[in-house]
């Protein structure tokens, strides 16, 4: 993207872009309302993520976004197959379907607990 892009747009175009961005953020937050928020272990999970040098996803992101678990597994060199086997499922899709109201934060936190237990 051109560095001078924002200098070359009008105030009206900039205002429209900001409005669209805000609408998109509001849409994501609204989608996240069905997810369980403020669960008891959240601070512990965030502490684990900090210890392991991982960034937690936003709270409004559903656990259907499995990329966070995949990245964490790759970070630790853990085979997802082993984690899924210990959870009693064969695929991440099955794991997500078992807990449809979990956020990606909570799902990743549970994975981090698994990692800590295995170390």
CB–CB of 65/104 below 8 Å? yes
13-48 pLDDT, tens per residue? 889 999 999 998 888 777 777 787 778 899 999 999
Judged against a pLDDT cut of 80, whether residue 10 lies above it is answered with yes
Place of tokens 């684990």: 48
Query: What is the rounded CA–CA span in Å between residue 84 and residue 63?
Result: 15
Report the chain's mean pLDDT, rounded to a whole number: 89
């Amino acid at each position: 993207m051109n560095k001078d892009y924002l200098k070359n747009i009008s105030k009206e175009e900039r205002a429209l872009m900001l409005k669209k961005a805000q609408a998109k953020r509001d849409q994501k937050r609204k989608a996240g309302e069905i997810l369980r928020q403020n669960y008891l272990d959240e601070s512990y999970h965030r502490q684990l993520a900090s210890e392991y040098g991982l960034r937690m996803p936003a709270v409004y992101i559903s656990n259907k976004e499995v990329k966070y678990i995949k990245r964490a597994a790759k970070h630790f060199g853990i085979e997802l197959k082993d984690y899924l086997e210990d959870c009693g499922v064969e695929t991440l899709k099955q794991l997500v379907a078992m807990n449809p109201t979990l956020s990606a934060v909570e799902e990743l936190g549970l994975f981090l607990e698994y990692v800590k237990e295995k170390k």
